Copies of this chain bind each other. A is one copy, B any other.
Amino acid sequence: MSDALRVALLGCGVVGTQVVRLLDEQADDLAARVGAPLELAGIAVRRPGKHPDVPAELVTDDAAALVARDDIDLVVEVIGGIEPVRTLLLTALSSGKSVVSANKALLAEDGATLHDAASKAGVDLYYEAAVAGAIPLLRPLRESLAGDRITRVIGIVNGTTNFILSRMDATGAGFDEALAEATALGYAEADPTADVDAFDAAAKAAILAGLAFHTRVTLGDVYREGIGEVTAADMASARAMNCTIKLLAIAERVVASDGTESVAVRVHPAMIPRTHPLASVGDAFNAVFVEAEAAGSLMFYGRGAGGAPTASAVLGDLVAVARNRVNGSRGAGESAYAELPVQQIGEVSTRYHLALDVADQPGVLAAVAGIFAEHGVSIQTVRQEGRGDAATLVLVTHSAPDAALAATVQELSDSSFLRRAASVMRVEGMSAD
């Protein structure tokens, strides 16, 4: 058994508290797995008086001093946000400490700077906990599938929005009502913007895309639509199609007709058939499909958030980086050699479902069909439901560039015969495309 490795913990909230607990409770097992004891040497928090459950002598409010200490080998970061964390982690990495982080925002915003610092110092930067909580997902992408060619990653990676959409589906509630319920139950934060507006899911999508396609992808590369505009009418339309609505993170390898490749990354609500495995992922669970040429379709499912599940992922990484340190080695670093260009959403092929309230008069269907045709969008199915002097047209398109679909919707909105677009929603996971 080697000498103890000394760990600094940055942040001691819901996740950090569990990290402290598990480091203590599982100390013997962790030591046996690492080949050296892991010793908690310091805990940086904002308000030292607020953490009665952790050893007082370890607590400090001076994170900068902690990460610079010579006796620290490994740094675990569970604070979140960009600054001051980026500065702290750069200090840690550049002084030769390996880092385990759960910080999706920072990794998605400026992972490159951290990876470069880790590479330069010859240390590890692991962040399994940043995406999908306890679910082993980044390591499988980075290592298990390193001999395969990933074509698509699609999944549910935000529990808060999944809870809200599940409630809207189950009860017929509108968005505001379901959000209020999520807040009351602790599923949504007081300021739910990061979840509801899909910044959280977009950051995770950027990280997944980067690993899957060996390309640097940042938050700014991700097309992002939150769930704030999803209405009870949208959900009712989905139900009528035997579908539900989920917030999906989708990263795709796109191969043009001339063989050139690019990457498309997007997060938006979408209708999916109730028979699709993602449709039954409830409440705060996450599930991600990875499609690869040789492996076929793989699914990973589990708890996407929460103190203990996230701490499990943090500790798995901590064991790995500690073991590397004991062995004098280093894990696989960033792999971004492919440098694929990232597509804008307009170029991405998607499908739409539309429920259009139109005047019930001869020729309307022909006019609507004409507008789709004009934009090169092919209609897969159309159903007309008469309602007195008005009618509802329910359409599902074939795949077409998103920009063409958006232009089609715009022109429909401007037409004289459209009374209201009751629901416009992208569609995923339907067959017969």
Contact = CB atoms under 8 A, between A and B. Distances in A.
25 contacts: A29-B149, A29-B214, A29-B338, A32-B337, A32-B338, A33-B335, A134-B295, A134-B298, A136-B136, A136-B143, A139-B140, A144-B316, A145-B316, A146-B319, A146-B320, A147-B316, A147-B318, A148-B312, A292-B312, A295-B302, A295-B303, A295-B313, A296-B302, A298-B301, A329-B329
Contact of A26 (B147, B311, B313): B147
Which 7 A-B pairs give the minimum distances between C-beta atoms? A147-B315, A329-B329, A136-B144, A134-B295, A136-B140, A294-B312, A298-B302
Interface residues of A, number: 56
Contacts of A311: 147, 294
A294 B144 contact: no
A335 B32 CA distance: 8
Given A32-B214, A140-B136, A145 B298 contact: no
Interface of A: 18, 22, 26, 29-30, 32-33, 128, 134-136, 139-140, 143-149, 214, 292-303, 306, 308-309, 311-320, 323-324, 327-330, 332, 335, 337-338
Contacts of A337: 32-33
**Which has the most chain B C-beta neighbours within 10 Å: A214, A294, A312, A323?**
A294
A300 B299 contact: yes
Nearest to A335: B33
Contacts of A308: 293-296
Contacts of A323: 332
Interface hub of A298, A311, A318, A330 (most chain B Cβ within 10 A): A298
Interface centre among A144, A146, A300, A308, by most B CB within 10 Å? A144
Chain A binding surface SS class: mixed
Given A295-B302, A302-B296, A312 B136 contact: no
Given A298-B301, A327-B329, A327-B330, A316 B143 contact: yes
Given A295-B309, A332-B323, A136 B145 contact: yes
Contacts of A301: 298-301
Nearest to A337: B32
A33 B146 contact: yes
Contacts of A328: 329
